[in-house]
Structure 1
Amino acid sequence: YWSCAIMANRYECGVGQVYLDLIELVRGKDYFIITTNVDHQFQLAGFDKKRLYYTQGDYGLFQCSRPCCRETFDNEDAVRTMSAAVKGRAIPIELIPRCPHCGAEMTTNLRCDDAFVEDAGWRKASENYSEYLRRHSGCKVLFLELGVGGNTPVIIKYPFWQMTSKNPRATYACVNWGEAYTHPYIADRSIVIDADIAQVVKQLLGR
């Protein structure tokens, strides 16, 4: 019940304004997004999936709980159906999503244990990100980090620092309320903003 309710809220709450502002900010630019967010907001906002790498999974996808296959499944229709059928904190047993291959219960595609499925879409997104970095190696580029904390710095923060240090034409920018900092080695090519992301993006749009 709780998983169903949480995922239903992902669809029913709409798209956060900051995501809509971000897509306006990068419109017409040669950008790429790597994210540890699993809230499906980039997809709902309309970002180009070919320019998006969701490293830790996505609430918008189901996978086999075993897992018996390296495949994921869009879950919006199933989640909305389950949410509408909730009675007494439960759903009818026949609505429990099951793997079409082995019949096991489905679960959300989140990197929380060694059962996480890196499907063809995930692997393609990883390849697209690597190719984007290869094409822009040595180019004038902005590594813009938004709200990355200390939980998983090895995915975005540390690689951004390393790529900035190796590329004299690169700039690193960090926007993070309460956790805005950079590495001393690249301090002269860093922009550190201790502020709310939503407000900063609005200012960049001239609002």
Structure 2
Amino acid sequence: MKVFLLKCLNAINSKENINNLSRIKSTVDDKDVIKIKPILDDCDAILIGAGCGLLYSAGLTYFGKRFEENFADFIEKYNMSDMYLGGYYPFDTEEEKWAYWSRHILINRYNKKVGKPYIDLLNLVKDKDYFVINTNANRQFQLAGFSQDKIFDPQGNYGLFQCKKACQDKLYDNEKIIKEMVKSEKDCKIPTHLVPKCPKCGGEMEVNIRRNNYFVQDNGWYESEKRYKKFIRDNRDRKIVFLELGVSITTPAIIKYPFWKMTEEFENAYYICINKGEGHIPREIEKKSIYVNSDIGDFLDRIKIFQS
């Protein structure tokens, strides 16, 4: 595996090899749809790998107009550039930190409808044996109606709190306190009595998203991981499609690299990558892969036309 991943890295970073990596197309090409549709129809199982590109396709961006409309006061006071970097801002106080995070969680976890691409995706795979590995913390798959037993969220969940120092493996639902924080926030601060504290050690709390080595993986996390691994074991000899949607090459270790490796190893596997402006296919798997340079939502809209 190490040798294969080194080849992948060299392929991505080498100017000499970059033109050999993928079949690049600039729009939703019906030839791609016509090729992909029978592959999905004929397969026995589909493993969906979802990154931020799928979230952005649903309109849930962390920058631009959506950020500016929801965080104008934080932008003015802290000169923030987007929601992602806002989560790493070195606030002076916990009251300021949770004023930001409560609003971030409210608009990205609680006060939003399910994005259309997620509904279209479910309609595409619902009659198949499928599983989802998802690196977004917004729980759009659950809102769309995907079975919780078929989803693995390895990077966490905006709807949960954990001890900042991981003194225990317990997670806490945060919906009620988040809404109280937002309601009580003033001048980019929340009241001190609403600052969350760990019920066990009394220390600071964090959102349960993977940021450092203190990320808490509770029993539910490990059970989801087991189901994910079992799905792969059960389907390694079947016709399995690795459907990668909007996964960035800057964070490839959780979805992209494993998908490439399993496509190479599994005899009956096929790799499909849909990602606007960012797609790479190693030469080792190019005969059993296709890259579509398209907005994911546009592609899902287009493939519906070809459904019987």
**TM-score band w.r.t. shorter chain:** over 0.9
Look up the match of 1:196. Answer: 295
Looking at structure 2, the residues matched to 177 and 37 of structure 1 have their Cα atoms a distance apart, in angstroms, of 17
User: TM-score of the superposition, structure 1-length normalised?
Assistant: 0.94
- 1:56-94 Cα distance to aligned partner (Å, 9 max, x none): 111121111122101112222221222122222222222
Given candidates 146, 163, 185, the residue that maps to 1:64 is 163
Look up the match of 2:100. Answer: 2
Unaligned 5+ residue runs, structure 1?
Answer: none
Q: CA RMSD in A?
A: 1.5
- 1:80-131 Cα distance to aligned partner (Å, 9 max, x none): 2221222222222222222222222321011111111111111111111001
User: TM-score of the superposition, structure 2-length normalised?
Assistant: 0.64
Look up the match of 1:27. Answer: 126
Unaligned 5+ residue runs, structure 2?
Answer: 1-98
Looking at structure 1, the residues matched to 168 and 119 of structure 2 have their Cα atoms a distance apart, in angstroms, of 34
Q: What amino acid sits opposite 1:2 in the alignment?
A: Y
Look up the match of 2:92. Answer: none
Aligned positions, number: 207
- 1:130-163 Cα distance to aligned partner (Å, 9 max, x none): 0110110110011000011112212111111111
Greater share of strand residues, 1 or 2?
1
Larger mean CA deviation between 75-84 and 112-121 belongs to: 75-84
Q: Which has the higher contact order (CA 8 A, sep 6+)?
A: 2
Q: What amino acid sits opposite 1:192 in the alignment?
A: Y
> Which runs of structure 2 are paired with 1:97-176 in the superposition (5 Å)?
97-176=196-275
Greater share of helix residues, 1 or 2?
2
Look up the match of 2:83. Answer: none
Runs of 4+ deviating beyond 4 Å: none
SS of corresponding position for 1:174: strand
Larger Rg: 2
Larger mean CA deviation between 140-149 and 83-92 belongs to: 83-92
Larger mean CA deviation between 187-196 and 15-24 belongs to: 15-24
Q: CA deviation at 1:170?
A: 1.0
- Identity in percent: 41
Looking at structure 1, the residues matched to 193 and 143 of structure 2 have their Cα atoms a distance apart, in angstroms, of 28
Look up the match of 1:84. Answer: 183
